[in-house]
Amino acid sequence: MSAPTPAPPALARLLERPGLRRVLEAIDGEGEEARVVGGAVRDALLGREPAEIDLATTAPPQEILARAKRAGLRAVPTGIEHGTATLLAGGESFEVTSLREDVETDGRRAKVRFGRDFRADALRRDFTLNALSLSSDGLLHDYVGGLKDVAARKVRFIGEPRRRIREDYLRILRFFRFSAGYARKIDAEGFRACVAERAGLERLSRERVRAELLKLAALDGAAEGFAAMSEAGALGPLLGLAPNPGRLARLRGAGVAVDPLMRLAALCVATPEDAGRLAERLRLSRAEARRLVSAGAAAIALRAARPLDEAALRRLAYLHGREAAIDGAVLAAEPDEIGPVRAALRAVPLPASPFTGARLVERGLHGPAVGAALRGLKARWIAAGFPDDPALVDTWLDEAAGLRR
């Protein structure tokens, strides 16, 4: 155990945030201690703005709530049975959790008891760079060499990697996500442990897998992270499809904005059937599933639509919808085509159909014949390149109604 050291300037600035000061003043002291822990410490050290600030405390859950009330802070018992409350101060929210120790684990969830030992709390965490803590007196506490690993941009399991993974198999996915987000290169020992323990991924709920994969897909290093997962044999079984990390890597220079769902689709979706299988495997929402199925259908049409001139792109956008066609370009266009094709699809004007049921009824058609005639007219109109000549439209309507031959 290393002695605490004075916090560097980036961490000192973190402690100056008014909301955090209020929370620390409420929870820290009078026989209890509270520290900033985990990701906020790591990100501040790396010069990144922390997305959220979590605290750990020796105070038991009900004491957290009582102290927050006395300090005039709103407290939400978001996970109070597990020792977590969310405190609101200065326009920010802070998760405050009582220190815990694992009693037993089964690879998916742990039974815990509350404790008072920050070192024990650090040792139960996943990676060294996530185990740093910052006390209100401006001291940085490092029990596992996390500060050195942050400086080296190294993602390393705490203790024996395979044992750490068996406590929660989601740590395999977290290892690849954190490596993609923070590491200069993947830790060899951790990689070997993930390969050895990958069968345990079958124990995870699909919802937890979905959340973790989408978080990875949002990172700049997503392609490298998924490639490493695929190399470890940990990705294909989760997706139920053959992953193609190379295609995802080629998107990087295509000017495609970060879209985690479409990045995930680019990794493994080529057809509507692929999209349906992925949606089922990852318990995607109905809206997400519909989007991927539509994109898969548009992708098939785009592959067949050569050359990709304005007429072809207008037809694609009209038949599949503009947004589905834009998504389909991510899945099917060549890397150097993706940006221009998506831009053209956004700009191409989509004409309104000149054919209506009323105009056919005027010509004597009724019942199911009207719908059948409309479908035929629209197909003919699309194939002809959306002509807008009124005389030609009238001729086609007359022909559909049997008034001309």
DSSP-derived secondary structure for 176-244 = HHHHHHH-SS--HHHHHHHHHHGGGGGGS-HHHHHHHHHHHHTSTTHHHHHHHHHHTT-SHHHHTS---
For Cα atoms 91, 92, 93, give the angle at the middle one, nearest 5 degrees.
135
28, part of any domain: yes
User: What's the number of domains the chain is made of?
Assistant: 2
178, part of any domain: no
Least confident segment among 69-73, 227-231, 332-336: 332-336
For Cα atoms 73, 75, 81, give the angle at the middle one, nearest 5 degrees.
150
Residue 32 · residue 63 · CB < 8 Å: yes
Q: Name the residue among 109, 74, 110, 78 with its Cα closest to residue 95.
A: 78
Residue 105 has what pLDDT? 60
Residue 144 has what pLDDT? 96
Residue 107 has what pLDDT? 54
Phi-psi region of 72 (alpha: psi -120 to 50; beta: other; left: phi over 0): left
231, part of any domain: no
Q: Which of 94, 125, 152 is the last residue of a domain?
A: 152
Residue 403 has what pLDDT? 80
Residue 306 has what pLDDT? 84
52, part of any domain: yes
343, part of any domain: no
Cα–Cα distances (Å) from 354 to 127, 299, 328, 375, 390, in that order, read: 63, 27, 27, 12, 9
And the tokens for 377? 């007219």
Q: At what angle do helices 206-217 and 170-182 cross, to 10 degrees?
A: 10
197, part of any domain: no
Q: Which of 152, 186, 213 is the last residue of a domain?
A: 152
Residue 252 has what pLDDT? 74
DSSP-derived secondary structure for 65-104 = HHHHHHTT-EEEEEEGGGTEEEEEETTEEEEEEE-EEEEE
224, part of any domain: no
Over 70: is that where the pLDDT of 402 sits?
yes
Count of Cβ atoms closer than 10 Å to residue 195 Cβ: 13
Q: Which of 152, 167, 188 is the last residue of a domain?
A: 152
Over 60: is that where the pLDDT of 73 sits?
yes
Over 80: is that where the pLDDT of 188 sits?
yes
* Tens digit of each residue's pLDDT (9 = 90 or more) over 11-53: 999 999 999 999 999 999 999 999 999 999 999 999 999 989 9
> What percentage of residues in the chain have a pLDDT greater than 70?
96
> What sign does the dihedral 136-139-145-150 (CA atoms) show?
positive
Domain that holds residue 388: 357-400
**CATH number of domain containing 114:** 3.30.460.10
pTM: 0.87
| Local structure of residue 169 (DSSP, 8 states) | T
Helix ranges, 251-321 (H): 260-268, 272-281, 286-304, 310-320
Residue 82 has what pLDDT? 86
Coil/strand/helix, residue 56:
strand
Across the range 260-269, mean pLDDT stands at: 93
Q: What is the rounded CA–CA span in Å between residue 360 and residue 362?
A: 5
Q: What is the rounded CA–CA span in Å between residue 322 and residue 317?
A: 4
* Tens digit of each residue's pLDDT (9 = 90 or more) over 371-391: 999 999 999 998 898 998 999
Burial 359-385 (b: 16+ CB within 10 A, else e): bbeebebeeeebeebbeebbeebbeee
267, part of any domain: no
Over 60: is that where the pLDDT of 342 sits?
yes
Per the prediction, the chain carries an average pLDDT of 92
Burial 294-309 (b: 16+ CB within 10 A, else e): bbbbbbbbbeebeebe
Pairing of strands 84-89, 92-98: antiparallel
Q: Name the residue among 273, 257, 280 with its Cα closest to residue 330.
A: 257
Q: Which residue has the tokens 């993930």?
A: 194
